[in-house]
Each structure stands twice: as structure tokens, then as C-alpha cells.
């Protein structure tokens, strides 16, 4: 594009008379003229751009937002390169930037320059100090993300600074001069650390105790002297297996800590080798037995490794086979649940390591058993019985049994005919419908009894005994009655004379628990598997046989087995699916086979019994107090909701009396927070019984 210099100068002079006087002189000079001394006052920046295009031969595209007045004061002449550097500096001072491109330079506001096609440079590239560039700096020894907060104040708002963590590099977009300055700062920061790791082996003291003491010392030093806490603090880790301490830090810190460790790693006088170890979870007496056996093994090993005494060939190492074990004494204090250990320092250290591994919180197991039984019984009876007797013949059919027998009915009829006003005993009233007709007043008596019975009985029983116990500890729960059973009886005589002997009866009675029994011993294996030794029993007394002379009769269902169940899973222990159909018919020979009329001489009964019994098991491992609290709150909330529902139903006879109610659920603090689990929804007052298909899904609910 051809530029008419005369027209440009005249237009510039009209608008800016003060600044164009010097610019006219500059523009009239040849491009390749001698160095120029540039002095401008309140000149339009766009006019300066036009002048730079003429003097440098560069093409510029000016953003419409580039506006303003510039002032340049120069005392010495400048060549083309120096003049362009001054031009870039002027743009930077006024908040603008020159972005080089293909044969053209874009002049835009500096705030958006980083989003343009800014050239990417490295340490070998050369660019004008005020030119916007992008540079990627590789950080070698420190974290790039940690340097960003340090360098952020050195980057202007229009610049950019970011860290890319995967490759540990810094990305900087700013003027070339500022980028070079930041690169020099990074070079001073990015130095190899003098931190190292060394291992300090201990001979007498315990590595764990030494680390605890030194850690407390370093923490107190930082609180009392904040200047001493500047920099990376040294790190210490105890290796109990080798009784060594791993030190990490700078050389000065490691030397200081090593001197302290050497001072602390000294043998203890024999009189001071007694320590008291307080236990948190284990029982002192139980742990004492284990430690006594461990101490014997450790003492024997120490005696074997001891040097042979000089001049005593044939003696065992240590001079005595029992010398080592005699130095160890372990006692248990039940009142404080503590162990008192007297032993050499190395044995005390080994015993404390064993105690730390054994004195841990034992997990608990919540075992929930579900006994579901559904039974249905249907009975139907129909028959006719006859009786006839006269002066010379007697005939009858007695096809029933028990209270439905003809003899019992005749006895009742005779009792009524005699005018008795006393009701018959309940046990003599037969079940079902009975109709009797006849004449028992004359010499020839005749009677007939028609019996009909239909019985339908359904049973749905759901029992869920639950018990919580420690790992490898047996637990038992019994819900039922203690029923007496006669085991024997005899009578003694008080006189030797048989005629005058008086009997003295004796009975021996044994009481047994009847109801629901659950006995379980869990063992938690590695992972989430639970091995269970379980004994489940459900028993009940038969009401009809409760008053028998030989004693009550009980129904019993029991399972005793060993199973392996995953945590939170449901396993069926066993069960019974039984279906029994019993049909019986009694008839008079020949007469009972007559079609239709044979029904008058026949008695038929049908009984169908169907029973489904299943026992399920649901173990849940409670590894900490939080899990135990959650399960406890679940059951507690359920029972309290049931009581609230019962209280809501008013008692019409005693309206002022209220049913018992549990206290509100207490708040339990765990790890600084308050744990108070409330039920999600209020349970209905009378929930319907769950069908057998839903038993498995109901585990863990209520």
C-alpha cells in the first residue's frame, strides 16, 4: 500500500498542531537517514504508529481501542532498532502490546494480548524487552505448583502464569523482559535439595519411644520459636522390626537429631527395668499368660546368641540355661487392667511390641436369625352311628373316637333325660355338629347319631432372635419359659407293718427352658467372611398334653451346624417343607358298601396338613463403635416408635394412664461430630406379617 506522506502530514498537523511540528521533520527525512533524536509531547498514538511504520518499514494493524496521547523525551540519537524498542516501551506504558504475525504487527490492548498468537520463545531466543512472548520453563528439583504463589505478585494483571503438574513445567505469558527476569528467579529457586535419608540403628532404646520423644521436642520447638520452624521440618519414622529410626531432612537437622538419638540410646540401670503397661482392650490376666510364654522364647534366644564365657568350655551360651528367663517377671493388675513387666531393656522392647499388636479393639458380630413357619391344617369328618337294644338283643355301631363316640353321646343323653340341670364338662362336649334321635324310654330302645365336622387352621410364625458378641466369644439368648418335667417318683413307707404303713410320695422334677434359643460363636476371618458355630432351637409346649400324667409334651425344632457366611449376606441354615394327607374310613361290612344307603353305616375323615419351616441367618461385622451405634439406633428407634403408636391409642377405661415409653435417643459423639440417626419414616402401629418370600429382604430393618 502506497502512503501519501504530504497528505498525512497535513492532516496530522491540522489536528495536533503542537506535536506535528517535530513529526513533520522526522517524516521528511529519508528512511535510511542518520540516527534520529525523538522528542514528542502529547502526540496522538496513532500518529506515532504511522511514523514508526514509515521509519521501520513494518506493517501495523491497529485495534480501534488503541487511543491516547504519548510523550517521548530523548537526549541522544537512536537508530532504527533502538527506535522500535522505544516504540514498544511506549505501547507497554500505555497498556498496549505489539503482536508480530505474518508480515504484519497487530497493536492491541495488553489485557487481551495473551490470547493472540503470541510467539513462544526459549532460553536461546532473543526478543525485544517489551514484546509479549510465551515461555515454557521446565522445573527440575522443586514442585512447579509450589512456585506459582511465589511468582504470582511479579506478573501484571494482563500476564499469565500457570503450572502443569504432570510434566512439572511453568507457562508464562508476559513481556520478554519480565519473562527473562522471572526465569532468572526460577533458576535460583530450582536448586537440588540437600535433604537425604539415613538409618540410625538402636542398641538399647526403643525406636518407637525415641521417635515419640523427638517428635514432641520438634513440635514444642516450633511453637516456642517460630523462626526455627521455617523450612521443611525433619521427618522421623520408627521401624519396629529392626529397631531403627529413619531420618529425613537437611544435613544440619540430621546431625542434630543423630546426636540426640545417640544420647538417648544408652543402657538403663538394672534397677530401672520395670515398666507398667496399661491396656485398652485386652484383659491383663489373659495377656500375661501369653507374654510369659513369649518371654521364655525371647530369653532362650538371647541366651543362645550371647558370647561364650572365657575359660568355661561346655557351658551353654550366657553361662546358664535359665539365667535369661529368671530376669523376666510379668504380673497382671486386675484393678487397673495393667501389666507390670520387669526385664532387660531389649526384652521389654520386644514385649511391648507384642503387646501393641495384641491390645487392639476386637470386632463384634451382630447375628440375626429368622425362623419363619407357615402351616395350614384342614379336617373334615362325616358319619352316622346306631344303637338298638331290647329284652333279648343288643346292637350298635361305634365308629367315632374320643368325645365323638356314641357311648359318650348316650351318656350325655341319659344325663339330660334324668333331669340333670348341670351342664356337661367342657372336655365331654364333642367338636363339630352332632344330631341324635331315638327312644330310650321303653324296653326296646333305639337311637342314631349323625356327626359332621369341618376344621381349618392356619399358622404364621416369624421369630427374629438377635445377639451381639465379640469375635471368638460364645453368646446365647433364650426367650421362653422354664417348664418343669417330672423325671421320677417313688413312695416310702413310715412303718414296718404292712397294715399300718403310711406312704410318703416323692417326685423328682427337672426344669428345662422352652422357647427360642440361639447360641452362636463367630470367628471373623481375613476379609469379610465369618465362620459361625451356631445352635438354634425353637420349642413349645403342646396345650392338649400339658396335663398328662407323664408330664407335658413339647414341640421342638433345632439346628446345630457350622457355616461360613460373608458379612451382611443371608444364608439359609435349614428347614422343612412337609405336606401330609390322611384319609380314613370306618364302615359296617356289606352295609357300608351299599350305594347311597351305605353312607348310613359309614364314618369318614380327611386331614390335610401342610407346613413350611425355614431358618435364615444374617451376620453383620461391627468393626468400630460407629457401626455398633448405627445398628443400636436403628433398633432403639423402632421400639420407641412402636411405643409412641401404642400411646396414641387412648385407653377408654384408664384415660389418664399412659403406656411406658423409652427415653429420647441420646446423642453420641464420634470423632468430633454428633451422631444421632433418626428413622426415615414412622413405622405403622400394626404392621402386617411379611410373607415368606419377603423374609430375606427384611433383614436388618427392624
Q: Write out pLDDT tens, residues 513-569.
A: 888 888 999 999 887 889 999 998 888 888 765 555 667 788 888 889 999 999 989
All cell numbers assigned to 14: 491540522
**CA 556, CA 540: separation in Å to the nearest integer?**
7
Q: 3-state class of 347 per DSSP?
A: helix
Instruction: Please tell me the predicted confidence (pLDDT) of residue 521.
Output: 92
Is residue 19's pLDDT more than 60? no
Name the least confident of 199-208, 388-397, 505-514, 629-638: 388-397
Is residue 398's pLDDT more than 80? no
Tell whether pTM > 0.85. no
> How large is the average pLDDT for residues 667-672?
52
- Concatenating the DSSP letter of every residue in 455-506 gives EEEEEEEEE--EEEEETT--EEEEEEEEEEEEEEEEEEES-SSTTT--EEEE
Instruction: Please tell me the predicted confidence (pLDDT) of residue 109.
Output: 81
Instruction: Please tell me the predicted confidence (pLDDT) of residue 619.
Output: 92
**CA 62, CA 97: separation in Å to the nearest integer?**
10
**CA 430, CA 426: separation in Å to the nearest integer?**
9
Half-sphere exposure of 557 (CA within 13 A, CB side): 16
The band of 689, judged by pLDDT with boundaries at 50, 70 and 90, is very low
> How large is the average pLDDT for residues 435-456?
74
Question: Of the spans 8-22, 238-252, 308-322, 401-415, which averages the highest pLDDT?
Answer: 238-252
Name the least confident of 342-346, 413-417, 649-653, 657-661: 413-417
Is residue 671's pLDDT more than 50? no
Radius of gyration over every alpha carbon of the chain, rounded to an integer in angstroms: 52
- Residue 93 CB partners (closer than 8 Å, separation 6+): none
**Residue 27 phi, psi dihedral angles, 5° rounding:** -75, -25
Residues 405-426 as b/e (b if ≥16 CB within 10 A, e otherwise) read bbebbbebeeeeeeeeeeeeee
> How large is the average pLDDT for residues 202-213?
83
Q: Which of 197, 297, 189 is nearest to 245 (CA)?
A: 197
Instruction: Please tell me the predicted confidence (pLDDT) of residue 160.
Output: 81
**CA 341, CA 360: separation in Å to the nearest integer?**
19
Is residue 668's pLDDT more than 60? no
Name the least confident of 310-324, 489-503, 570-584, 596-610: 310-324
Amino acid at each position: 500500500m502506497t502512503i501519501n506522506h504530504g497528505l498525512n502530514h497535513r492532516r496530522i498537523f491540522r489536528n495536533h498542531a503542537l506535536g506535528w511540528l517535530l513529526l513533520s521533520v522526522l517524516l521528511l527525512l529519508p528512511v535510511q537517514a542518520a540516527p534520529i533524536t525523538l522528542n514528542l509531547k502529547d502526540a496522538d498514538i496513532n500518529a506515532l504508529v504511522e511514523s514508526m511504520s514509515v521509519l521501520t518499514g513494518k506493517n501495523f494493524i491497529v485495534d480501534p481501542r488503541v487511543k491516547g496521547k504519548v510523550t517521548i523525551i530523548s537526549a541522544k540519537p537512536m537508530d532504527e532498532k533502538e527506535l522500535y524498542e522505544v516504540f514498544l516501551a511506549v505501547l507497554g506504558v500505555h497498556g498496549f502490546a505489539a503482536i508480530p504475525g505474518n508480515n504484519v504487527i497487530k497493536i492491541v490492548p495488553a489485557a487481551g494480548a495473551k490470547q493472540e498468537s503470541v510467539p513462544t520463545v526459549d532460553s536461546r531466543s532473543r526478543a525485544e524487552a517489551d514484546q509479549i512472548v510465551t515461555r515454557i520453563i521446565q522445573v527440575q528439583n522443586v514442585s512447579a505448583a509450589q512456585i506459582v504463589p511465589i511468582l504470582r505478585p511479579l506478573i501484571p494483571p494482563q500476564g499469565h502464569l500457570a503450572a502443569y503438574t504432570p510434566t512439572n513445567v511453568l507457562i508464562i505469558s508476559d513481556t520478554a523482559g519480565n519473562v527473562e527476569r522471572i526465569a532468572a528467579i526460577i533458576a535460583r529457586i530450582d536448586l537440588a535439595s540437600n535433604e537425604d535419608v539415613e538409618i540410625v540403628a538402636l542398641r538399647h532404646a526403643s525406636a518407637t519411644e525415641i521417635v515419640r520423644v523427638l517428635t514432641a521436642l520438634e513440635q514444642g520447638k516450633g511453637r516456642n520459636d517460630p523462626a526455627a520452624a521455617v523450612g521443611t521440618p525433619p521427618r522421623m519414622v520408627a521401624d519396629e522390626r529392626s529397631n531403627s529410626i529413619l531420618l529425613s531432612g537437611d544435613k544440619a537437622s540430621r546431625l542434630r537429631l543423630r546426636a540426640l538419638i545417640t544420647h538417648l540410646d544408652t543402657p538403663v540401670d538394672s534397677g530401672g527395668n520395670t515398666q507398667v503397661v496399661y491396656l485398652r482392650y485386652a484383659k491383663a490376666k489373659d495377656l500375661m499368660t501369653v507374654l510369659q510364654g513369649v518371654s521364655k522364647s525371647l530369653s532362650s534366644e538371647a541366651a543362645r546368641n550371647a558370647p561364650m564365657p572365657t575359660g568355661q568350655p561346655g557351658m551353654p551360651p550366657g553361662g546358664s540355661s535359665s539365667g535369661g528367663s529368671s530376669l523376666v517377671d510379668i504380673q497382671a493388675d486386675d484393678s487397673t487392667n495393667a501389666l507390670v513387666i520387669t526385664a532387660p531393656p531389649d526384652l521389654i522392647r520386644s514385649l511391648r511390641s507384642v503387646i501393641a499388636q495384641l491390645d487392639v479393639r476386637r470386632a463384634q458380630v451382630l447375628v440375626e436369625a429368622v425362623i419363619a413357619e407357615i402351616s395350614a391344617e384342614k379336617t373334615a369328618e362325616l358319619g352316622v352311628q346306631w344303637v338298638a337294644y331290647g329284652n333279648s338283643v343288643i346292637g350298635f355301631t361305634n365308629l367315632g373316637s374320643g368325645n365323638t363316640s356314641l357311648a359318650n353321646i348316650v351318656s350325655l343323653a341319659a344325663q339330660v333325660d334324668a333331669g340333670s340341670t348341670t351342664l356337661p364338662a367342657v372336655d365331654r362336649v364333642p367338636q363339630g355338629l352332632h344330631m341324635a334321635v331315638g327312644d330310650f324310654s321303653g324296653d326296646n330302645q333305639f337311637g342314631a347319631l349323625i356327626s359332621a365336622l369341618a376344621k381349618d387352621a392356619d399358622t404364621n410364625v416369624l421369630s427374629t432372635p438377635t445377639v451381639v458378641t465379640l469375635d471368638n466369644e460364645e453368646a446365647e439368648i433364650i426367650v421362653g419359659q422354664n417348664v418343669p418335667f417330672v423325671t421320677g417318683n417313688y413312695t416310702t413307707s413310715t412303718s414296718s407293718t404292712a397294715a399300718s404303713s403310711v406312704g410318703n410320695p416323692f417326685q423328682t422334677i427337672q426344669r428345662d427352658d422352652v422357647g427360642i434359643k440361639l447360641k452362636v460363636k463367630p470367628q471373623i476371618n481375613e476379609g469379610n467372611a465369618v465362620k459361625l458355630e451356631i445352635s438354634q432351637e425353637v420349642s413349645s409346649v403342646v396345650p392338649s398334653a400339658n396335663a398328662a400324667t407323664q408330664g407335658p409334651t413339647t414341640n421342638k425344632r433345632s439346628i446345630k451346624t457350622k457355616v461360613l457366611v460373608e458379612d451382611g449376606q443371608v444364608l439359609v441354615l435349614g428347614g422343612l417343607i412337609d405336606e401330609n394327607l390322611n384319609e380314613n374310613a370306618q364302615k359296617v361290612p356289606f352295609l357300608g358298601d351299599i350305594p347311597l344307603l351305605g353312607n348310613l353305616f359309614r364314618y369318614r375323615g380327611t386331614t390335610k396338613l401342610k407346613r413350611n419351616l425355614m431358618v435364615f441367618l444374617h451376620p453383620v461385622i461391627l468393626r468400630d463403635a460407629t457401626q455398633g451405634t448405627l445398628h443400636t439406633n436403628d433398633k432403639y428407634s423402632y421400639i420407641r416408635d412402636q411405643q409412641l403408636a401404642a400411646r396414641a391409642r387412648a385407653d377408654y377405661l384408664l384415660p389418664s394412664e399412659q403406656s411406658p415409653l423409652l427415653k429420647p435417643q441420646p446423642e453420641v459423639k464420634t470423632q468430633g461430630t454428633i451422631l444421632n440417626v433418626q428413622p426415615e419414616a414412622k413405622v405403622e402401629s400394626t404392621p402386617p406379617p411379611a410373607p415368606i418370600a419377603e423374609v430375606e429382604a427384611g433383614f436388618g430393618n427392624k
